[in-house]
């Protein structure tokens, strides 16, 4: 009987401490940890909060933002891509607000009830945004699409040429993982 109890004790000790020892080895050596990320957009540095006037345009939703004064062919292609990604969200469509910031105005998709499309913004907002982008060494007029969370944190940057399915995948993952917005 005594040998049977020793076997059970060894069994419990092994299966109780083995995961702790394995975790300690993994943390200490880095062996087995994933090396990359699964997102397709460029992950922004944590803590980058956009100016209040920009996050106010989101209306408490996630924001898909493009910044550009003059819209050439590449810009128009990005705007169409942004709207297609937004429409492809399906039932999550209402959790996202697409915004095109241009000069001293903006356009929303879908147009919010309290806002009208192409509503002028004060010049101070545009200047503040331009200064904020410059201070954080972020490109402003390169036709990038930016993802901003409902709290105003800059999350991802999708550079021109990023596939729409990849953008959609990233946004769907974040909306699924997040309960805000």
User: Model confidence over 126-152: pLDDT tens digits?
Assistant: 567 767 878 888 887 788 999 999 999
Indicate whether 65 and 20 sit together in one domain: no
Indicate whether 73 and 111 sit together in one domain: yes
Indicate whether 19 and 99 sit together in one domain: no
- What does the pLDDT read at residue 116? 46
Indicate whether 89 and 123 sit together in one domain: yes
Indicate whether 144 and 75 sit together in one domain: yes
CATH of the domain at 71: 3.40.30.10
Torsion from C-alpha of 153, 155, 161, 162, nearest 10 degrees: -140
- H/E stretch holding 64: strand 62-67
Indicate whether 66 and 27 sit together in one domain: no
- What does the pLDDT read at residue 87? 95
pLDDT tens string 143-181: 899 999 999 999 999 999 999 999 999 999 999 999 887
Indicate whether 127 and 160 sit together in one domain: yes
pTM of the complete model? 0.75
Indicate whether 74 and 145 sit together in one domain: yes
- Terminus-to-terminus CA distance in the chain, angstroms? 62
Burial group, residue 78, by CB count within 10 angstroms (0-12, 13-18, 19+): buried
Domains held by the chain: number: 2
Those residues with Cβ within 8 angstroms of residue 163's Cβ, 6 or more apart along the chain or in another chain: 40
Indicate whether 58 and 32 sit together in one domain: no
Indicate whether 157 and 79 sit together in one domain: yes
Q: What six digits make up the tokens of 134? A: 């410059």
Indicate whether 76 and 144 sit together in one domain: yes
> Taking 70 as the threshold, does the pLDDT of residue 115 lie above it?
no
- CB 10: neighbour CB atoms within 10 A? 10
What residue numbers bound the domain in which 88 lies? 42-177
pLDDT tens string 26-62: 888 888 887 777 888 999 999 999 988 888 888 899 9
Indicate whether 10 and 54 sit together in one domain: no
């Amino acid at each position: 009987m005594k040998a049977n109890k020793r076997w059970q004790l060894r069994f419990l000790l092994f299966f109780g401490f083995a995961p702790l020892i394995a975790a300690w080895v993994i943390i200490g050596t880095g062996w087995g940890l994933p090396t990359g990320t699964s997102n397709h957009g460029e992950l922004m540095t944590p803590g980058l909060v956009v100016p209040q006037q920009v996050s106010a345009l989101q209306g408490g939703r996630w924001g898909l933002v493009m910044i550009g004064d003059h819209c050439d062919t590449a810009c128009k292609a990005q705007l169409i891509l942004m709207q297609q990604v937004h429409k492809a969200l399906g039932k999550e469509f209402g959790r996202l607000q697409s915004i095109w910031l241009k000069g001293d105005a903006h356009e929303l998709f879908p147009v919010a009830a309290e806002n009208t499309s192409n509503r002028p913004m004060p010049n101070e907002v545009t200047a503040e945004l331009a200064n904020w982008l410059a201070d954080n060494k972020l490109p402003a007029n390169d036709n990038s699409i930016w993802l901003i969370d409902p709290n105003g944190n800059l999350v991802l940057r999708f550079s021109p040429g990023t596939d729409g399915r990849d953008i959609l995948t990233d946004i769907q993952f974040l909306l699924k993982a997040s309960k805000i917005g």
